[in-house]
Amino acid sequence: MTQLSVNINKIATLRNARGGNRPDVVQAALDCERFGAQGITVHPRPDERHIRYADVKPLRSAIKTEFNIEGNPIPSFIDLVCAVRPEQVTLVPDAPNVITSNAGWNTVTSREFLTETCALFKEAGIRVSIFVDPDPEMVRGALACGADRVELYTASYAEHYAADRDAAVAPYVRAAEAARECGLGLNAGHDLSLENLSWYIRNIPWTDEVSIGHALICDALYMGLERSIGEYLDRIRNY
């Protein structure tokens, strides 16, 4: 079954808006696990506008499920991940000035850099996933770089889902089939929601993991965190 990894960045955003430690991101991660999440995702950025580098080690010590750290592999990020050794690192090519991730890697033009980075993390015993657009060429390029998985960037799927869900998911099916043919594991994330998640999983049931944060936390404002996680798990299980 596809696993749900809850991205807790938005919980850290709320904490940072006021200062102090409320809400407590470590306790929030533990609650997400208690409510059924099979993993926790964080995306520390250099400006620390949500998850801070200092949050990552306490989270590593507390989390009992899978820990996924995603981000742009700049030197400080690489040092952090190698020190913490999560189960998975997801390489995302986000520039420092972007509000949120807005593109996948070009695994062909960035092959040398990604190959070196994958090798470094794998030497540390960390599974490596590369964030890519839904393009079979980029998927095959990730394999050539030494990745263990790809994470398909699902913003385009979410954007076009309401107008034509079949057309929206079609390029993702092609990319997912390429990953399966290559023997790569398959993740997905960005703008997946209660409205569009089931259709995605129905069409790509071999997805290993979805990483969901923003929509899940927005839903939790109205229904509570426990019920929100339960609803997302229901969409995954009953697609």
pLDDT, one tens digit per residue, over 62-74 is 999 999 999 999 9
Distance, in Å, from the CA atom of 66 to the CA atom of 68, rounded to the nearest integer, reads: 6
pLDDT, one tens digit per residue, over 207-239 is 999 999 999 999 999 999 999 999 999 999 998
pLDDT, one tens digit per residue, over 72-114 is 999 999 999 999 999 999 999 987 666 566 789 999 999 999 9
CA nearest neighbour of 199 among 172, 227, 181, 229: 172
70 counts as catalytic: yes
pLDDT, one tens digit per residue, over 131-164 is 999 999 999 999 999 999 999 999 999 999 999 9
Among 33, 66, 70, 209, the active-site one is 70
123 counts as catalytic: no
Q: Please tell me whether residue 133 adopts helix, strand or coil conformation.
A: coil
Q: State residue 103's pLDDT score.
A: 84
Which positions ≥6 away from 173 have C-beta within 8 Å? Answer: 203, 204
Instruction: Give whole-number Cα distances, 101 to 10, 29, 63, 216, in Å.
Output: 14, 22, 25, 17
Q: What are the structural domains, with CATH classification, of the chain?
A: 3-237 (3.20.20.70)
Enclosing H/E stretch for 238 = none
Among 50, 151, 190, 209, the active-site one is 190
Among 43, 50, 151, 209, the active-site one is 43
pTM of the model: 0.95
116 counts as catalytic: no
CA 147 to chain centre: 15
